[in-house]
A and B are shown apart, each in its own frame.
Chain A
Amino acid sequence: QSALTQPRSVSGSPGQSVTISCTGTSSDVGGYNYVSWYQQHPGKAPKLMIYDVSKRPSGVPDRFSGSKSGNTASLTISGLQAEDEADYYCCSYAGSRRVFGGGTKLTVL
């Protein structure tokens, strides 16, 4: 069982928006603004998409945005594109540990 809880799957049509939630506790997500999100396509290594809850590394489209409220962080992908179909993982700093969510499979219909 993963430390952070994510929905197993979400889906949306091209052009729509989807939001993936990531629920932790006050010891991780709720206690620090150090939440990151990773995208993983099948057979590939994960890619950092969001850090510091809502910041995007260079090269990540602004269609990807992050937010946090209490113990729950969220990743929103707007203007869905076919290439966004992938697994998404949230991660939170938790002192000497790094805790991950179980992953969410995004299907673009």
Chain B
Amino acid sequence: EVQLVESGGGLVKPGRSLRLSCTASGFTFGDYAMSWFRQAPGKGLEWVGFIRSKAYGGTTEYAASVKGRFTISRDDSKSIAYLQMNSLKTEDTAVYYCTREWFPVGYFDYWGQGTLVTVSS
């Protein structure tokens, strides 16, 4: 059974950093691109970015709203994807989801349960 479990969320002050983890099981993690999404309270889904599998170079792409502040990485040996968030702003407050992606077409067939990040002083 495919499972994705996010962790690392919490309360953080503006300007600080936080790293989220997404631990995967039930599939060959290294074969898939992994994506991150977020959903602000009462708002819609927002794509944050993704990391390609090593077969496609392991490179990353980001939404304009987070580019330069957020970094996605992966450790295939541990089946974990990371979202490093720096220079956090209050508008980054959201539930963050990791997903498995059908690359390159951009379909997301498995989602984690989400982890809440609250940016507030």
Q: Is the CB of B107 within 8 A of A48?
A: yes
Rounded to whole Å, the gap between the CB of B57 and the closest CB of chain A is 12
User: CB of B26 within 8 A of chain A?
Assistant: no
Digit string of A16-39 for contact with B (CB within 8 Å is 1, else 0)?
Answer: 000000000000000000101010
CB distance from B102 to the nearest CB of A (A): 8
In the complex, the answer to whether B47 meets A100 with C-beta atoms within 8 Å is: yes
The number of residues on chain A lying at the interface, defined by a beta carbon within 8 Å of a beta carbon of chain B, is 25
CA distance A92 to B107 in the complex (A): 9
Interface residues of B toward A: which range?
20 to 34
Question: Smallest distance from the beta carbon of B101 to chain A beta carbons, Å?
Answer: 8
Q: Determine whether the beta carbon of A100 is less than 8 Å from that of B111.
A: no
Q: Is B97 a contact of A103 with CB atoms below 8 Å?
A: no
> For chains A and B in complex, what number of residue pairs have CB atoms within 8 angstroms?
56
Chain B 92-121 interface 0/1 with A at a Cβ cutoff of 8 Å (1 = within): 000001000010111111011110000000
Given A98-B35, A98-B50, does the pair A89, B44 have CB atoms closer than 8 Å? yes
Interface residue? B61 (CB, 8 A): yes
The chain A residue sitting closest to B114, CB to CB, is A45
User: Is there an interface contact between A46 and B45, defined as CB atoms closer than 8 Å?
Assistant: yes
Given A97-B47, A97-B63, A102-B44, check contact A34 B106 (CB 8 Å): yes
> In chain A, residues 77-109, which have Cβ atoms closer than 8 Å to a Cβ of chain B?
87, 89, 91-93, 96-103
Show 10 A/B contacts (Cβ-Cβ < 8 Å), sorted by A: A38-B108, A45-B111, A46-B45, A48-B109, A51-B102, A52-B105, A89-B45, A92-B106, A93-B106, A100-B44
Residues in B lying within 8 Å of A, measured CB to CB: 35, 44-47, 50, 61, 63, 97, 102, 104-109, 111-114
A residues with CB within 8 A of B: 2, 34, 36, 38, 40, 45-48, 51-52, 57, 87, 89, 91-93, 96-103
